[in-house]
Amino acid sequence: MYGNLVPYYGDGSWMILVFAAMILGLIAQAKIKSTYAKYKEVQNSKRITGAQAARYILDRNGLQDVKIQSINGELTDHYDPTQKVIRLSQDVYSGDSVSAVSIAAHEVGHAIQHGRGYSFLNFRNALVPVVNIASRSIYTLFILGIFFAPIFLDIAIAIFAVTVLFQVITLPVEINASSRALNNLEEGILQREELGQGKKVLSAAAMTYIAAALFSIAQLGRLLQRRNR
């Protein structure tokens, strides 16, 4: 999001880290797509669809009030805590592959976190309004800081730091959701070999969050180093 602005404040060492994180992000994106596609072709032995797996895990965890909806796109799956709705892409919702049930279970993991009051999820959700403000104002603040008053640049960096914190907090949230997913999949949904395949899908997804966090940290480091000069 902020990649176009970084060159104004760059330093050689941080630039290397930014590009390294960018390359890692591209590798992570390729990995999740290839892993998802691979196990999308592997039908689970129970012939359970993603929606069925999600409903089963939700009900078993006392979350009957959480709804499941089908949405367009690929890998657009997410849990909406404000509406208490799990939205699954069409292939995940109706598919009975290892990929489908694994991703569905991961989103249920977020619903379980919400229902149990998982602290990292609550903290991340509290940062959402600031991140939304950052997405709308960061460019304007940077431009004002460059051409008019440095105070605007300081404000932009402070806001950007919150978005970096959001990315970092996302890591334990996603890892915990995957752990919850695997524990629930082990209980009557996937066989042992299928569970290993599902773990590969979720591990590949985790790489994308790690890459995003590293990229944001490297960008923030460049901005701070240049601003301190």
Map residue 124 onto helix, strand or coil.
Answer: helix
Tokens of residue 148, six digits: 């008019």
Catalytic residue among 41, 107, 174, 194: 107
Helix axes 192-228, 98-116, angle to 10 degrees: 60
Question: How many CA atoms lie within 13 Å of 191's alpha carbon, on the beta-carbon side?
Answer: 8
Are 51 and 70 in contact, with CB atoms under 8 Å apart?
yes
The answer to whether residue 107 is catalytic is yes
Distances (CA, A) of 174 to 70, 203, 223: 21, 10, 27
What amino acid positions are annotated as catalytic residues? 107
